Amino acid sequence: MYVNRILKKMVDQARSTFPAVLITGPRQSGKTTFLREEYGKESHYVTFDDPLERQFASEDPNTFLNRFSDRPVILDEIQYVPLFFSWLKMRIDSERSRGGRFLMTGSQQFHVMKNVSDSLAGRIAIFDLLPFSGGEYLAVHPGHNIQDLIWYGSYPEVVLHPEQRNLWISSYLRTYVERDVRQLQGIRDLGQFEQFVGLLAARHGQELNLSALSRTIGLSVPGCKQWLHVLDASYMIYLLKPFHRNFGKRLIKSPKIYFMDSAVAAYFSRQSSPEALWYGSMGGSFFEGWVVVDTLKRLIALGHPPELYFWRSHDGLEVDLILVLDGRYYPVEIKQTATPMPGHTASLDAFRRITGDLCEPGMLVCTIDETRPLPGGHTAVPWKAFGDRIESILHSGGIGGLSAC
């Protein structure tokens, strides 16, 4: 079963303008399936997982490229032939008017992006294809509830085959640690690294305290920062920065940490079932994390660079998510409740007072079935409807764009 991806519209636009398009993202997010299903009938296909194709492209790049003069070509796992980018640049420059000629995928973001930046600047559009958004998941399982979405996560293989959840996640993580972490980053103590990831999973949805984490794991603060960078660059975690009008403070204050896939966070934090997760002590954090990450996925898939923050006042009020769109602020509270109350808007009111006319009325994302008005002009929004609401804000504001390198 193929699931239509939101990113398709942006890739179609890019193909009319750019000679090359690169789809990056975590392993198993559906990059190859996306390109083959959407563009495979009109394109050649080569995977550099094949050692013979790797050798051919490396040793005789011109002859390799001559095979594809008649149609576009999908070049899968392009990171395995880093020297190939220079030859690709020359071929693109010789026929610059041919848009969408080269469609590429790359999983290992650590090395791919540097080679692309060095060789194909101005010639390529780059997109991240993340695992399924909530809407894409519900296209497969329209009857699932939020507990199911959090428990099964968003990787296509698990969504399409829920019975394989535990086996797939453990196998995926083993591959991730062995290939991305050991081979690409040279981290030797994999046991300590896995313990580090487990400690982060227990802090899913919390503000990151590097000093406390360093003491617990027995690793220096610079070492913790390095490992956080590995997890961030490989799409395992997302760091949500605090909101400050002073941009410098945004960079030095502690972010909140979320796992990009809720099933991975549940696996590492030893959740035993969807019900135990939802009704346990971390249920609210998992719900908040799902909404934050789903917002991130929607913005990326729509070609809009995400500008997301959280806000905390000196007296303890907090807004879980601030969307900055076209210079305006959209504050969002996220509550694991089916009974929104006037008190839930206190932090939204406080944020509007300090940001004034730049701030739109707030939203409370919760588990209700229908949108409801709240005091102060705010709105309670069902979790199922929040993604569509983001899209309507983007479209009404004319916000969007391509990511080009």
Residue 183 has pLDDT above 70, yes or no: no
For residue 40, pLDDT over 80 is answered with yes
pLDDT reading at 201 higher than 70:
yes
Q: Is 205 left (phi over 0), alpha (psi -120 to 50) or beta?
A: left
Judged against a pLDDT cut of 80, whether residue 234 lies above it is answered with yes
Joined together, the tokens standing for residue 33 give 């399936």
pLDDT value at position 185? 63
Could you give the CA distance from residue 139 to residue 124 in angstroms, rounded to a whole number? 31
pLDDT tens profile 2-29: 999 999 999 999 999 999 999 999 989 9
**Nearest C-alpha neighbor of 262 from the set 234, 279, 282, 241:** 282
**Phi/psi at 219 (5° precision):** -130, 145
Roughly how many angstroms between the first and final C-alpha of the chain, as a whole number?
33
Percent of the chain at pLDDT > 70 equals 92
Query: Within 10 Å of residue 350's Cβ, how many Cβ atoms?
Result: 17
Which pLDDT band holds residue 112 (cuts at 50, 70, 90)? low
For residue 23, give every residue at least 6 positions away whose Cβ sits within 8 Å of its Cβ, in sequence order, or none: 7, 11, 31, 34, 35, 103, 104, 105, 106, 127, 128, 129
Predicted model pTM? 0.91
Mean of pLDDT over the chain: 90
What's the pLDDT tens digit per position in 139-160?
Answer: 999 999 999 999 999 999 999 9
Residue 397 has pLDDT above 70, yes or no: no
8 Å CB contact between 156 and 140: no
Question: Region 271-292: what's the mean pLDDT?
Answer: 97
Q: Distance between CA atoms of 352 and 167, rounded to whole angstroms?
A: 46
Residue 25's alpha-carbon distances to 54, 64, 107, 130, 364, in angstroms, are 21, 26, 6, 6, 30
How confident is residue 399, by pLDDT bands cut at 50, 70 and 90? very low
Give CA–CA dist 343/283, Å, rounded.
20
Domain ranges of the chain: 8-128, 141-283, 302-397
Q: Which residue has the higher pLDDT, 401 or 246?
A: 246
pLDDT of residue 403: 38
pLDDT at 252 over 70: no
Interval 260-277: pLDDT, tens: 999 999 999 999 999 999
Q: Do 141-283 and 302-397 share a fold?
A: no
CATH superfamily, domain 8-128, is: P-loop containing nucleotide triphosphate hydrolases (3.40.50.300)
SS3 state of residue 383: helix
Give buried/exposed letters for 206-219 (b at 16+ CB in 10 A, else e). bebeeeebbeebeb
Q: With 80 as the cut, is the pLDDT of residue 249 above it?
A: no
pLDDT value for 383:
97
Question: Which two three-digit tokens encode residue 117?
Answer: 């930046």
**Cα-based angle 377, 290, 165 (whole degrees, multiple of 5):** 155
Q: Which tokens sit at 273?
A: 């079932």
Which fold is adopted by the domain 141-283?
Arc Repressor Mutant, subunit A (1.10.10)
Domain range 302-397, its CATH number among 3.40.50, 1.20.140, 1.10.150, 3.40.1350: 3.40.1350
**75 DSSP β-pair partners:** 46, 104
Mean pLDDT of 95-118: 77
| The most confident of 188-192, 211-215, 390-394, by mean pLDDT | 211-215
- Name residue 308's beta-bridge partners: 323
| Residue found under tokens 């400050």 | 244
- Of 57-71, 73-87, 144-158, 237-251, the range with the lowest mean pLDDT is 237-251
Residue 131 is encoded by which pair of tokens? Answer: 């695992």
Q: Is 23 helix (H, G, I), strand (E, B) or coil?
A: strand
pLDDT at 210 over 50: yes
pLDDT beyond 70 at 246: no
Least-confidence region, from 80-89, 124-133, 180-189 = 180-189
Number of helices (H), then strands (E), in the chain: 20, 14
Question: What's the rounded Cα separation, in Å, for the pair 320 and 284?
Answer: 12
Q: How confident is the model at residue 394 (pLDDT cuts 50, 70, 90)?
A: confident
Confidence of residue 121 (pLDDT cuts 50, 70, 90): confident
pLDDT reading at 248 higher than 60? no
